[in-house]
Structure formats: C-alpha cells, structure tokens
Amino acid sequence: MFITLRRFNAKNQQNVASFKWNLKTLPFGTQSVNYHLNGDFFREKEPVEVMAASVEVCVTITRKSEVDYEMRLDCHGELTIPCDRCLEAMTHDVDTIYELSVRQEGDEFDDSRDRVLMVPEGWHELDVEPLIRDTVLLTVPIMHTHPDGECNQDMLSALQAHEAVAAENEEETAERQTDPRWEALRKLKNNN
C-alpha cells in the first residue's frame, strides 16, 4: 500500500472549514446542512479503501439550551470499494442514520459513551467531518465481497490454484516439524 501526502490547497481548506459548526453562535432550534461526499473526502485525511463515492449527508443540529445539542446524520448513497475476494471494484450501498447528543461541559473531550459527545466548554466550534466519515465507513462490513457468482472468475481461479499449493506445503511442513514426543501416539493411532 502506498501512502501519499498532499498539501492542502485553498479549495480543500474551504471544504474542511465548512464542516465546522460554531456552537456559541448557533441559534436555538433546528439547523440543517447538506453535504455531498466524493472519493476525495475519504482519501484526504487517511488512506482508506474507498475508490469512489457519491454520498449525500444531511446534518441536523438542534440547540436545546446553552450547552445541550441534538445531532442527526442522515447518510445515503454509494461507495465503490475493492472486493476482498477478487479485488475488483464493487458497490456498497450506504443508508444509515446516526443520532447523538452533544453537551458542552468540563475541560476535556469525551466520546467514550455511546451516542453522547462531551466537548469542552471552551470549544466554540464542532468539526462534524470525523463524525460523518466514521458514520459512513462503519456501514462497510468487515468482509466485503461480491454476491456469489459475481466475482472475477479469472482471479478466483488463480486464487484457488495458490490455495491448493499453500495447503500442500503446510501439510508437508507440519509432517516434518512434528514433535518427536507425539510419534509414539501416532504409531498407536496407526496400529488401530
């Protein structure tokens, strides 16, 4: 895997800045902003296996008091990711809603509780970019593969050929490295 470092240009800095919500000046009531995420959104911060993306996100924040907020992330769209079995591109549908409470309290950031985010009282801005990124990426299953029969057959054939050779090599190696203390048991087993 290659990791490339990019310098952020003014356009990227404006994009990132638009994900910051000023909590102190946010009016009471409900505010919403829509974002369109493409593949660059997922690749700019850290290397991930998102080849392309088209995800619509609606972030809704409701200010309940001076320090309490309710946030809702509605994410819908598609990610193009590599299949773990054949390495060809596959489409993963994103359709998720994440709701959490945000509270300004204390001096430290705390996201250890489920669906509760504690931010320091001194923070004026809340960056929703990592929340959006994590919400979308958590929809991708650990093992992401094409449905049966849709994988690249040439790649599957090559994979099966190498699996058979690897299995044979493992058996030969295991036979050669058998602990001599087990030989007596193996002889008893073979005699019965």
Domain boundaries, the chain: 10-137, 153-191
pTM score of the predicted model: 0.72
pLDDT tens track, the chain, 192 positions:
222 233 333 333 334 448 999 888 889 999 999 999 999 998 887 778 899 999 999 999 999 999 899 999 999 999 999 998 888 999 999 999 999 999 988 888 888 888 888 888 888 889 999 999 999 999 999 998 888 888 888 887 887 777 755 445 555 555 566 677 777 777 777 776
Type of residue numbered 114? D
Q: What is the pLDDT of residue 13?
A: 36
Residues in the chain: 192
- State pLDDT tens for residues 97-123: 999 999 988 888 888 888 888 888 888
Cα 98–chain centre separation: 14
Give the C-alpha distances (Å, rounded to integers) separating 29 from 20, 75, 85, 97, 141. Answer: 18, 22, 48, 20, 35
Q: Using CA atoms, how far apart are residues 185 and 75, in angstroms rounded to an integer?
A: 60
Residue 61 sits at φ, ψ, to 5 deg, of -120, 130
CB-facing half-sphere around the CA of 53: CA atoms within 13 A: 23
